[in-house]
Amino acid sequence: MNTFVQNLIDGLGNGSTYALLAVGVSMLFGVMHLVNFAHGELLTVSAYVIYGLRSKDVSWWITVPMAILGAVALSVAIEFTAFRRVRTASAFTLLLTSFALEILSHAVWRIGVSSKPRRYATPEIAFKTFDLGPYRVEVWDVISIVVAVLCFVGTAIMLRKTLFGLSIRAASEDFDAARLMGVKANRVISGAFAFAGLLAGIAGALYLLRRGQADPRMGAEPLLKAVIAAIIGGLGSLKGAVVGGLALGVAEVYFRSFLPNDLQGLTDAFVFVLIAALFVVRPQGLFNVQTAERV
Amino acid sequence: MLAVDEVTTKYGALTALHAVSLHVNEGELVALVGPNGAGKTTLLSTVVGLLRPTGGTVRFDGRTINGLDPAALVAAGLALVPERRRIFKDLSVAENLRLAGVTAKAPDRKQRMEQMAELFPALHEKWDLSAGFLSGGQAQQLAVARALMCDPKLLLLDEPCLGLAPTMVDVIFDLLQRLRSQGRTVLVVEQQAQRVLGIADRGYVLRTGTVVAEGAGPELASRADLFETYVGGS
């Protein structure tokens, strides 16, 4: 029982990073029919912002907002310089564009900074624990879960109550019909990229404070997990992305804790087998989504 | 108010409209009829900016509007009720209307929503229901209400009666006449050619991308030759 609860907290802490990324991936898929493989690069830029500012001894209170801002800025810049040019192209072109951006980002960091990881000292709070009855809980896990929940609630309110949120939902269902109502395509798409960037920046901050290093290819793995989480939930479904991300985080921690030591390295493989099994039963993911129309 | 002048629109190599000209004057109800594939929907899509014409001009209120973004046309005073309605099924009825008021200022949007509640009592009852649960007739009313939220100078309707039960068709025809008596300018594409021409000020008959007849609505409706040959009667 002890390990069960312990793992659940660890897993939700991990999973909240995936879920925050996955919501962004799913939102962009909804409005643009784009699986954005460059989305993970937003973590990378946040990491280098942290490394850059911390190496000049800038306070964490300034560093973290700057890291988040960096992710938002890159997300908007990617849309403006790349995806806007190919918006009416096929889904395949969009996918290739996102791969190109991912590779370009790796190259920029490798040439501009170094191909070796750059380390920064993590703040004390990142690994602090406290005892809650029989459980030893990491403070950062609790913070991650709380911040993620606030983000999900904030996203839900934004989607229900604001005109921007309604535009995103409408555009995800039928983009041309939304344009006929006066929704500006550029505004809703760059807004969606900014919002997805914000969530990625927050996910980045939660993940990077414990990670302690920046390296050029670091965005790839969390992004892969986020894409899988979004697919588990049903691409385009934001609720699904949250559930998928948390489930994936929890599944990873459970496999890691139950697998014998020799098989620890295969955690991902076991998780992926489980996911493959899920898709046999529900190929459309956990939640059904109306087919989105592309611009 | 609207002047379509020698407009040609192509889908790839296929020419859907061959130098089509038509106009709509302020306060008129104009009907555009013709068989399937005649290019009626293409014409409306070209007017609202979803398609770009390869030749000719579309002028609205004296301003050339071809190639403008649909959002800019909504701001200019054009609104389309698209074919098959295309309401947002995941949004509630109220959310559909609120979104459609996106170009308006907040107090205007609120006022128009109240007007829609009055104009469409059937919708008001379902205000917070997902639009996906509406019946065909209610969904069509929502599609019209949504376009009216843009407070258009010219309202375009694409086959508003498609797939509706006969009693609902009556409701839509009533609505068309009501809009006209309110002084709205309306261009409507309709399959039930003779019926819609009967209530229209003027009409155009479109066939394989060309205007083959035009004139006063009731007069066109009574021309048996047109409907035997081109539209198949009604």
The answer to the question of residue A164 being in a domain is yes
Q: Chain B contact for A268, CB < 8 A?
A: no
ipTM of the complex: 0.87
The answer to the question of residue A219 being in a domain is yes
Cα–Cα distance measured from residue B90 to residue B127, given in angstroms and rounded to the nearest whole number:
13
Side chain identity at B64, as an amino acid letter? Answer: T
Q: Chain B contact for A293, CB < 8 A?
A: no
Q: Chain B contact for A178, CB < 8 A?
A: yes
**CATH number of domain containing A213:** 1.10.3470
Q: Chain B contact for A121, CB < 8 A?
A: no
Contact (Cβ atoms closer than 8 angstroms) between residue A139 and residue A130: yes
Residues across chain B:
234
Q: Using the beta-carbon criterion (under 8 Å), do B70 and A170 form an inter-chain contact?
A: no
The answer to the question of residue A234 being in a domain is yes
Cα–Cα distance measured from residue A146 to residue A35, given in angstroms and rounded to the nearest whole number:
27
How much is the pLDDT for A263? 84
Q: What is the set of domains in chain B, with CATH numbers?
A: 2-88+153-231 (3.40.50.300)
The answer to the question of residue A258 being in a domain is yes
Mutation to test the A interface, candidates B52, B69, B93, B99, most A Cβ within 10 Å: B99
The answer to the question of residue A121 being in a domain is no
Mutation to test the A interface, candidates B102, B103, B158, most A Cβ within 10 Å: B102
Residues 6+ away with beta carbon under 8 Å from B116: B97, B123, B145, B148, B149
What residue of A is the nearest CA neighbor of B73? A182
Would you list the DSSP string of A7-63? HHHHHHHHHHHHHHHHHHHHHHHHHH----TTTTHHHHHHHHHHHHHHTTT--HHHH
The answer to the question of residue A293 being in a domain is no
Q: Using the beta-carbon criterion (under 8 Å), do A177 and B91 form an inter-chain contact?
A: no
CA distances from B96 to A159, A261, A292, A294 (A): 13, 55, 17, 20
pTM: 0.89
How much is the pLDDT for B233? 47
**In tens digits, what is the pLDDT along chain B, a chain of 234 residues?**
999 999 999 988 889 999 999 999 999 999 999 888 889 999 999 998 888 999 999 999 989 998 788 888 998 999 999 988 999 999 999 999 999 999 999 999 999 999 999 999 999 999 999 999 999 889 999 999 999 999 999 999 999 998 888 888 998 899 999 888 888 999 999 988 889 999 999 999 999 999 999 999 888 888 877 776 555 544
Question: Which of A163, A182, A290 is closest, CB to CB, to B90?
Answer: A290
Q: Using the beta-carbon criterion (under 8 Å), do A183 and B71 form an inter-chain contact?
A: yes
Nearest CA to CA, how far is B10 from chain A (Å)?
A: 17
Domains contained in chain A, number:
1
Q: Using the beta-carbon criterion (under 8 Å), do B86 and A177 form an inter-chain contact?
A: yes
Q: Domain residues for A102?
A: 2-113+139-281
- Those residues of chain A that have pLDDT short of 70 are 1, 289-295
